[in-house]
Structure 1
Amino acid sequence: MLAHGARDAAWAAPFERVAAAVRAARPGLAVALAYLEFMAPDLPSAGAALAQAGCRHVTVLPLFLGVGGHVRKDLPVLLERLRAQHPGVRWTLAPTIGEDARLVAAIAAIALDAADAEYDVRL
């Protein structure tokens, strides 16, 4: 899984919970969480670790809501580098999570719940 990354380490907590949930649901599945920038591991490092662990097929799932420049331009370059560095591994790119109707429905449901609730969240 690939998230954008941020300078604030707390930003990564939801993504780490997603990775933990995937690992718990599929204990035999090798799962790595990587970041495009600001945080470690980056995609090349996480990909190398998966290859060294014996993975022969790695699917990169962008944890992005939309398809912007990072997904269209940066990610294909990173995948090509991984393919060149680890030719025995098949690297595939999954659609961004924001393109999945299930995520859109979940966000819409949360938005509707928020419209009906009263919050006083202090950050």
Structure 2
Amino acid sequence: MTTGTLLFAHGARDPEWARPFEAVLQALQAARPGNPAVLAFLEFMQPDMDTAGDRLVAAGCTSVALIPLFLGTGGHVRKDVPRLLQVLQQRHPGVQWSLQAPIGDHPLVRQAMVDACLTATPPR
């Protein structure tokens, strides 16, 4: 069984916006070179979720973790992501797709944000 990771971000018209997400993808690929990983976007940027999911299936993935790179569970995570994931499940029924909580819900991410805020605001 090959497990892949599909990182999913909102997207923006400005290509510079994607740089932090691309850095996360590169670090993930370096940390787990045997596990395919792709970055996809909801809008404005490519690839979209369908294309990214197809790439993981073509790479031999039989299990895919979909990680929304969103800070919270808003409308996109509650409505758009499940709808898009359902399309992938229908297109690739032999693949186990698992939707993870948005990255902002992870305690380590929250702590990293606290640490960054503490660094930016010196104590009195």
Aligned residues: 117
The whole-number CA distance in structure 1 between the counterparts of 2:16 and 2:68 is 19
Give the CA deviation at 1:116. 1.7
Give the CA deviation at 1:87. 0.8
The whole-number CA distance in structure 1 between the counterparts of 2:72 and 2:87 is 23
Choose from 60, 64, 67 the match for 1:58: 64
Structure 2: unaligned runs, 5 residues or longer: 1-6
Give the CA deviation at 1:42. 0.5
Give the CA deviation at 1:88. 1.0
The whole-number CA distance in structure 1 between the counterparts of 2:32 and 2:21 is 17
Choose from 79, 94, 102 the match for 2:108: 102
Structure 1: unaligned runs, 5 residues or longer: 118-123
> Which of 1 and 2 has higher RCO (CA within 8 Å, sep 6+)?
2
Choose from 86, 90, 105 the match for 2:92: 86
Larger Rg: 1
Identity of paired residues, percent? Answer: 51
Choose from 31, 55, 58 the match for 1:49: 55
Q: Which amino acid aligns with 1:81?
A: V
Q: Match of 1:34? A: 40
RMSD, matched Cα:
1.0
Q: Match of 2:3? A: none
The whole-number CA distance in structure 2 between the counterparts of 1:52 and 1:31 is 12
Q: Match of 1:68? A: 74
Runs of 4+ in 1 over 2 A off after TM superposition: none
Give the CA deviation at 1:31. 0.4
1:112 paired to 2:118 = yes
Greater strand share, structure number: 2
Deviations 1:9-67 (A, max 9, x none): 00000000000000011110100001111100000100011112211001100000010
